[in-house]
Structure 1
């Protein structure tokens, strides 16, 4: 059975994860085949951070299921005038069939899930970005036939929400992940330990490398990510200096195989964490990866609301 909420990738156990990805693949092939499955249902979407892919893919995914999407702006609700978060969520749960939240503190998403009586979907927090990682896995499954056993190299901030979620995705899918980060930006030990416990069942692994060249040598997949999070502009100068050797460019890819593919969650700062020749080059799956945000969002909404990946 799927979980009640999707706050992080590990909320889906390996079997549920595979089922959701299978459903997403079917929905991509026949996007309108489920257009009456949730007719009359509604999803409330709150975005406290800017969004392009998440906002649009979620709205279109809901439409393809026959759902209504309502965008919730804190300043336009009584939340902005003193009503408590708890009271607001209780009421919204009586109007909607699911709630989504894109926010800063992951604890806020957990608070919502603890109060809501309908499924809650984390569409990005500072700690996790599960919807992105589901699209990553679907993209790899399409390209390689299956993500199982693939070797991936994540280049950059090992503590970022994207890396956290990709780590859990690799664990659930049975992939081998190497994270290459500068000192001070290593992956969270608690998340790594939990991922390794899952990998004991799925056959995956996670290792670390200070040198990005070492990380990509055996990689089937190289993952780049923006160096400066949107909520930490004050760290730009320091991060650009620390991450300068972690750029995904043609020189770095020359140490990987000719069939190695490149992922990036977008938006990209061209010339910083990734160069344009790589982003737009033949090894890039980035645009397919972005497109796959739609069928995976559709599959997640359907699975959580109906209680079945079917």
Structure 2
């Protein structure tokens, strides 16, 4: 369907708005089946390699449960379990795994690694997170927005904090392709790459949305979605003190919530959260916080990706 069979999921750059919407609708259907206790067999007989250079809660559990729910076998391969990039090249590892597995998930540092796995393995490869992109998270986020707000197109989506990390990058792509009005609120030193901004503005123009990048926190006014992420991504821990000082004015607190001036606003965070840094405990635990709906939806959307590309 929509040309997805055998297709890798490396970045939302590679997916049209129609393909993204199909995955969201499929995820909704699969979620309903699971809630009804209907066990699936759409991945029966499939074997999926799960490569993890970085630790994970949601990504690992989502892929594992999604596989088992539909009859597939997931095989976890930690950074000390295989020779990837150390004693064996990525290309050689890909060619070995591609002959044994029906698909490969990779969560690690380099986007180049996941691209090479897809190039050489001959099977669908899924990006569970790299330093550049986190596309499976964005699918879960978009599904969550649809569930709570009814639709995507025309909604104002404000992301505040570190504007050049993998989450900001991927949210820009996904929101602009799906016709949302995206606002990145970040200090100028943490703005996204200008080339990516221009690319996403083109996506927004085609999809009927818009993209603004600013350092003014009052740009969150009217937001239907207020989203943040940790101030220091994995591997950047040595920058913590500097980032806290720089980003303190961009904390999501009750004062910032009031700036949205939208009673229907929802708060989102991809987790894990450092409460007291990017978000206060009060906001995190509020009724408008949907962070655990997002976390659950990782499983349903990841399942949809695997079903669409493998079954």
TM-score by length of 1: 0.95
CA shift in 2, pair 1:17/1:80, >3 Å:
closer
- Between the aligned partners of 1:88 and 1:252, the Cα distance in structure 2 is 47
Q: CA deviation at 1:112?
A: 1.2
Shift of 1:77: 2.6
Whole-Å separation in 1 of the counterparts to 2:276 and 2:25: 35
- Residues 80/194 of structure 1: CA separation in 2 closer, same or farther (3 Å cut): closer
Question: 2:241: which partner in 1?
Answer: 237
Residue deviations 1:64-91 (CA, integer Å, cap 9, x gap): 1100000113422344872222111101
Match of 1:121 in 2: 126
| 1:82 aligned residue (70, 87, 90) | 87
Number of the residue aligned with 2:291 = 286
Instruction: Extract unaligned runs of 5+ from structure 1.
Output: none
Residue among 14, 17, 20 paired with 1:14: 17
Q: Corresponding residue for 1:270?
A: 275
Deviates more, 1:2-11 or 1:279-288: 2-11
Query: Cα 1:78–1:275, aligned 2, differ >3 Å: closer, same or farther?
Result: closer
Higher mean C-alpha deviation, range 280-289 or range 75-84: 75-84
| Alignment partners' CA distance in 2, 1:55 and 1:91 | 22
Give the secondary structure class of the aligned counterpart of 1:40.
coil
Distance 1:303 1:219 in 2: 32
Q: Among 190, 204, 213, which residue is 2:209 paired with?
A: 204
Change (3 A) 1:78 1:106: closer
**In structure 2, distance between residues paired with 1:81 and 1:137:** 36
2: CA distance, partners of 1:81 / 1:138: 38
Instruction: Structure 2 unaligned segments of length 5 or more: list them.
Output: none
- The secondary structure found in structure 2 opposite 1:254 is helix
Work out whether 1:162 is the aligned partner of 2:175. Answer: no
Cα offset, 1:35, TM superposition: 1.7
Q: 2:31 aligns with which of 28, 32, 38?
A: 28
Give the SS at the match of 2:157.
strand
The corresponding residue for 1:219 is 223
In 2: Cα distance, 1:74 partner to 1:217 partner: 44
Q: Is 1:43–1:99's contact at 8 Å kept on the other side of the alignment?
A: yes
Distance 1:236 1:305 in 2: 41
Q: Is the 8 A contact 1:27 1:33 kept in 2?
A: no
Secondary structure of the corresponding residue to residue 43 of structure 1? strand
Runs of 4+ in 1 over 3 A off after TM superposition: 78-81
**Could you say if the C-alpha distance between residues 237 and 78 of structure 1 is closer, same or farther in structure 2, counting changes exceeding 3 Å?**
closer
In the alignment, which residue of structure 1 is the partner of 2:47? 42
